[in-house]
C-alpha cells in the first residue's frame, strides 16, 4: 500500500555538497508522486554556498506533523541530530551515508535507487532504545536530556573522581577521564573506543564503560535495561567536568553532582529496506581495511 505522508529530506550541507544527493532523492520520490520537503540540518544553507531551489525548502518543525518519515543525508551525527526530533514525534528515520563511517545508515550514496521501495511503502522499521539523563545538584534537578547513543561524563582535560551505582548499589569507584553510559545502538561508538563491548542494537541493555580508569577493577558492564545508573562526581579532585548527550553541547558539572541515567519511554525508529545484517555492518564499517 502506498503511503500518503510527506517525506522530509534532511541533508547536512557539510556532507552533501550542493545538496546533490538530496536533489537525486527528491527526484526519485517526486517521479513516484510522493510529496517531499527539504529541511536542511544547517539552518543557513546559503552560508554553505548551496541552494534549495526547486526542492520545497521548509522549516523542519513546520513539516513534522505531516511527515511519514525523515531521510537523513550525512553521517551518524546527522542521524543522531534528526533522532532528537523524530523520536518525539514517532517518525522513523532512513539514513543515507555521505560521511565517514555512517554505521547507523541503511544506505550508501550509491544505493539511492532503492528509494523506490520507500516511495511504495515497502520497508520495515526497527525500534531502538533511548536513555534519559537527569543531573541533580543539592537534591534539585538542574538539567535533563535524552540520547540515542550515549550519555558521557568527562573531566575537562583533567582526571575526575567518579562513583558508579546501579539502582543505588555501588558498582565501582575510580579516578579517570570519565564514563560512558550507552545504549546498544551506542555500543559501537565512544563506548567501544573506550574498551566497551559491541552489543546488538535491538537488545535492551545499558552499557557502562569507564574512560581511562586508573584502577584495575573498573571494567565495562552490561546491565539490564530497567536498571537506573547513577554517576556521582566526587570531591577528591576538584576538577571541572561536563556531560554531553549524543556528542552534543556540553553541560558543566560540579563536584557532588549526581547524574541519573535510565531507559527512556521514547524510542527511535530506523527504516530498513536491505537485508544487510548487523554482523555485516560491523565487518564493513569497523573491520580492518
- At residue 106, the pLDDT reads 94
- At residue 46, the pLDDT reads 47
- At residue 42, the pLDDT reads 63
Task: Report the topology of domain 6-123+273-286.
Answer: Rossmann fold (3.40.50)
Here the cell at position 2 is 502506498
- At residue 139, the pLDDT reads 94
Active site residue 76: yes
Catalytically annotated residue among 17, 44, 76, 127: 76
- At residue 47, the pLDDT reads 41
- At residue 171, the pLDDT reads 93
- Domain ranges in the chain with CATH number 2.60.200.30: 130-265
Pick the CATH number of 130-265 from 3.40.440.10, 2.60.200.30, 1.10.3470.10, 3.40.50.10420: 2.60.200.30
Contact 169, 187 (CB under 8 A): no
Q: What is the pLDDT of residues 117-156, one digit of tens each?
A: 999 889 999 999 999 999 999 999 999 999 999 999 999 8
- At residue 60, the pLDDT reads 80
Which residues, in sequence order, are CB contacts of 110 under 8 Å at separation 6+? Answer: none
- Domain ranges in the chain with CATH number 3.40.50.10330: 6-123+273-286
pTM score, whole prediction: 0.90
Q: Which residue positions in the chain have pLDDT lower than 70?
A: 1-4, 42-57, 288-289
Amino acid at each position: 500500500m502506498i503511503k500518503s505522508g510527506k517525506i522530509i529530506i534532511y541533508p547536512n550541507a557539510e556532507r552533501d555538497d550542493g545538496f546533490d544527493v538530496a536533489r537525486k532523492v527528491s527526484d526519485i520520490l517526486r517521479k513516484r508522486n510522493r510529496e517531499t520537503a527539504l529541511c536542511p540540518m544547517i539552518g543557513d544553507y546559503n552560508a554553505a554556498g548551496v541552494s534549495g531551489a526547486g526542492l520545497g525548502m521548509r522549516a523542519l518543525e513546520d513539516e513534522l506533523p505531516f511527515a511519514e518519515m525523515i531521510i537523513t543525508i550525512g553521517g551518524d551525527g546527522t542521524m543522531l541530530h534528526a533522532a532528537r526530533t523524530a523520536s518525539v514525534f514517532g517518525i522513523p528515520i532512513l539514513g543515507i551515508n555521505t560521511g565517514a563511517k555512517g554505521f547507523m545508515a541503511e544506505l550508501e550514496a550509491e544505493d539511492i535507487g532503492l528509494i523506490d521501495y520507500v516511495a511504495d511503502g515497502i520497508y520495515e522499521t526497527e525500534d531502538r532504545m533511548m536513555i534519559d539523563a537527569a543531573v541533580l545538584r543539592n537534591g534539585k534537578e538542574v538539567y535533563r536530556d535524552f540520547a540515542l547513543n550515549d550519555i558521557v561524563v568527562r573531566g575537562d582535560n583533567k582526571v575526575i573522581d567518579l562513583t558508579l551505582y546501579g539502582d543505588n548499589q555501588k558498582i565501582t569507584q575510580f579516578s579517570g577521564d570519565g564514563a560512558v553510559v550507552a545504549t546498544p545502538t551506542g555500543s559501537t561508538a565512544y563506548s567501544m573506543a573506550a574498551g566497551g563491548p559491541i552489543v546488538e542494537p535491538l537488545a535492551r541493555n545499558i552499557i557502562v564503560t569507564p574512560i581511562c580508569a586508573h584502577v584495575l577493577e573498573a571494567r565495562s558492564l552490561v546491565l539490564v535495561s530497567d536498571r537506573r545508573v547513577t554517576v556521582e562526581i566526587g570531591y577528591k579532585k576538584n576538577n571541572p567536568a561536563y556531560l554531553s548527550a549524543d556528542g552534543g553541547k556540553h553541560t558543566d558539572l560540579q563536584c557532588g553532582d549526581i547524574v541519573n541515567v535510565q531507559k527512556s519511554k521514547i524510542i527511535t525508529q530506523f527504516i530498513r529496506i536491505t537485508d544487510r545484517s548487523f554482523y555485516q555492518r560491523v565487518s564493513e564499517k569497523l573491520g580492518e581495511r
